[in-house]
């Protein structure tokens, strides 16, 4: 038994934060942001809008594309670092929104690599015949944990959600998937607070994402090149067989470095970083859906997903679409 991607969907909030807007907020420039990151604008939630709202819309689009109802699912798995609440988990909240009942729902947190982690878990559950069909989502509202007075981070992040429906199949859709983590560099990229440390510690202040970008950059490039090759090797395939690289959209220069390493022309890389910024675990399923809906990604093509994020966590998946 294998699993394959049956359909995709994504959603971004209406509000757009441009580089020009950020020029009014911190000491930066459109030129600096575009040349160092490739980002022109990002979508962010408005007051009252939440990650669950974004996940719901992405899920509805994926269900509609597959012509399925929420009750046709056996699992909802949401990867996120910005859940609406600690519990019920985001999967359960989403199931209730969609009008589903009874099947397993959970969320997992693996920072920007969360979608690959979720894909790996759902794929294993399908392969071991625990379930037949899963809704796998990456959804984030990073704007809620971004410091808009810190120019080194606030230019990067955006909000959005992307969804795929995975289904059991006789022929392989997911050919190989690899996930890794190492806490050695946990202080290079993190969000400092959490429930168990107690709210008193904050003394009424808010915490924000902390990142030593330059150091993250260097580790990310090396690690992603290795994981891409590892995932291809596991399926006995080579980079020249790839139709598309669908990378985590953290920085255009990181993506270019990986494409160069794989000897893949940039025309075969799906880029949404210009319009979406870095949406953490949402970025791969969002980019995938964009390229599926505009007709670039076609059935039967070979896709490589790869992601790297806080922890560090990282992972990659090779998919026959």
One residue of 50, 89, 95, 251 binding ligand UT7 per CB under 6 A: 251
User: Measured at CB, which residue is nearest to ligand UT7?
Assistant: 213
Q: How far apart are CA 163 and CA 51, in angstroms?
A: 13
**DSSP string covering 132-181:** SEEEEEEEEEGGGG--TT-HHHHTTB-EEEEEEEEEEESS-SEEEEEEEE
Q: List the interface residues with ligand UT7, window 202-241 (CB under 6 A).
A: 213-214, 216-217, 220
Taking the alpha carbons of 94, 97, 98, 99 in that order, is the dihedral positive or negative? Answer: positive
Burial class (CB in 10 A: 0-12, 13-18, 19+), 265: exposed
Residues 291-310 as x/- pattern, contact with ligand UT7 by CB under 6 A: -----------------xx-
**Using the rule CB under 6 A, is 152 a contact of ligand UT7?**
yes
Structural contact between residues 74 and 133, judged by C-beta atoms closer than 8 angstroms: yes
Residue of 78, 112, 188, 235 interacting with ligand UT7 (CB under 6 A): 112
- Binding residue for ligand UT7 (CB under 6 A) from 40, 97, 144, 151? 151
Does 36 engage in binding with ligand UT7 (CB under 6 A)? yes
* Packed helices 114-127 and 283-293: angle between N→C axes, nearest 10 degrees: 80
CB atoms within 10 A of CB 55: 34
Whether the Cβ atoms of residue 95 and residue 66 lie closer than 8 Å to each other? no
**Between 7 and 283, whose beta carbon lies closer to ligand UT7?**
283
Please identify which residue in 32, 106, 148, 191 interacts with ligand UT7, judged by CB under 6 A. Answer: 32
Q: Is position 112 annotated as part of the catalytic site? A: yes
Q: Which of 112, 123, 180, 251 is catalytic?
A: 112
Residues that bind ligand UT7 (CB under 6 A): 28, 32, 36-37, 112, 151-152, 155, 213-214, 216-217, 220, 250-251, 254, 278, 308-309
Catalytically active residues are 112, 248, 278
């Amino acid at each position: 038994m294998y699993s394959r991607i049956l359909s995709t969907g994504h959603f971004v909030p209406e509000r757009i934060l441009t580089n020009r807007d950020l020029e009014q907020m911190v000491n930066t420039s459109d030129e600096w942001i575009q040349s160092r990151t490739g980002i022109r604008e990002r979508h962010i939630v408005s007051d009252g809008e939440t990650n669950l709202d974004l996940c719901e819309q992405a899920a509805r689009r994926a269900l509609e594309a597959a012509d399925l109802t929420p009750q046709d699912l056996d699992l909802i798995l949401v990867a996120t670092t910005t859940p609406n609440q600690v519990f019920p988990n985001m999967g359960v909240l989403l199931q209730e929104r969609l009008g589903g009942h009874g099947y397993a729902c959970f969320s997992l947190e693996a920072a920007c690599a969360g979608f690959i982690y979720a894909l790996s878990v759902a794929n294993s559950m399908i392969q071991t015949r625990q379930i037949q069909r899963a809704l796998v989502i990456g959804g984030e509202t990073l704007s809620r944990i971004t410091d808009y007075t810190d120019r080194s981070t606030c230019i990067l992040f955006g909000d959005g959600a992307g969804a795929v429906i995975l289904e059991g199949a006789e022929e392989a859709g997911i050919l190989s998937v690899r996930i890794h983590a190492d806490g050695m560099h946990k202080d290079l990229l993190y969000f400092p607070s959490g429930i168990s440390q107690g709210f008193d510690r904050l003394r009424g202040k808010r915490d924000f994402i902390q990142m030593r970008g330059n150091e993250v950059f260097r580790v990310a490039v090396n690690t992603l090149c290795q994981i891409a090759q590892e995932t291809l090797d596991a399926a006995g395939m080579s980079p020249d067989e790839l139709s598309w690289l669908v990378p985590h959209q953290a920085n255009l220069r990181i993506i270019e470095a990986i494409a160069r390493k794989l000897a893949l022309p940039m025309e075969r890389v799906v880029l949404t970083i210009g319009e979406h910024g870095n949406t953490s675990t949402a970025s791969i399923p969002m980019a995938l859906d964009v390229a599926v809906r505009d007709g670039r990604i076609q059935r039967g093509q070979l896709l490589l997903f790869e992601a790297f994020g806080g922890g560090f966590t990282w992972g990659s998946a090779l998919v026959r679409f």
